[in-house]
Amino acid sequence: MGREFIELFEEWSETYDAAVGGHDKEYAEVFRHYESILDSVASKAEGHVLEFGPGTGNLTAKLLERGLQVTGIEPSPSMRRIAARKLAGRTDFLDGDFLEFDAPDTVDTVVSTYAFHHLTDEEKEKAVEKYGKLLRTDGKIVFADTMYQSRHDRLRSIEEAKTAGFHNLAEDLGREFYTTIPFLQGVFEQNQFTVEFTRCNRFVWIVEAVKK
């Protein structure tokens, strides 16, 4: 459920904002257009937003700027502390993960950026089913994350990273649970969502799913 990566999150918390700023050459393409990706996700959100994996609170801040109510679910204590400090008590960051969390009474939109890949495909199915039960008709799930059009594309991406000497990136792409668009489309449709995918850079796509 992503909690196996908490040690990584704890180590990464103090340098995360620098990483998403494109200062690490290995991950520059992963985080290309980072701010506009977050803006796009925030622009699609409505009402009471349940955010998974807010990290240091970058998307949270954009959601709050739009006047939305946000409940953040973050498993990393260090990330929660940084987010709470940056946003000065403007919202709550609760301990939890994609599958184990205390849900608010009303949820209109579920969002996440750069985090859904911490779930296996089986866990992704369980998560989407769970969120579908929380959302009313026309409620939304909006995720931005690395995903691929096919398994072949993923393997090719790993080999390209190795060829470029980006060994940390190659290890991450091989270790974490990056999925395919056809798989996700099937999961959303099975749970009565209409879904669209929009490409943002070589790695990241935005998924917008609306509950029927």
Compute the distance between CA of residue 200 and CA of residue 133 in angstroms, rounded to an integer: 29
Q: Give bridge partners of residue 49 from the DSSP assignment.
A: 70, 109
Q: Give bridge partners of residue 204 from the DSSP assignment.
A: 146
The pLDDT score that the predictor gives to residue 5 is: 65
Q: What is the pLDDT of residues 70-111, one digit of tens each?
A: 999 999 999 899 999 999 889 989 999 999 999 999 999 999
Tokens linked to 118: 């911490």
Question: pLDDT below 50 — which residues of the chain?
Answer: none
Compute the distance between CA of residue 24 and CA of residue 131 in angstroms, rounded to an integer: 34
Tokens linked to 148: 């691929």
Domains of the chain: 3-145+179-211 (3.40.50.150)
Tokens linked to 17: 């904002």
pTM of the entire predicted model: 0.93
The pLDDT score that the predictor gives to residue 4 is: 62
For residues 184 and 117, is the Cβ–Cβ distance under 8 A? no
Compute the distance between CA of residue 8 and CA of residue 124 in angstroms, rounded to an integer: 20
The pLDDT score that the predictor gives to residue 193 is: 98
At 176, phi and psi to the nearest 5?
Answer: -90, 175
The pLDDT score that the predictor gives to residue 174 is: 95
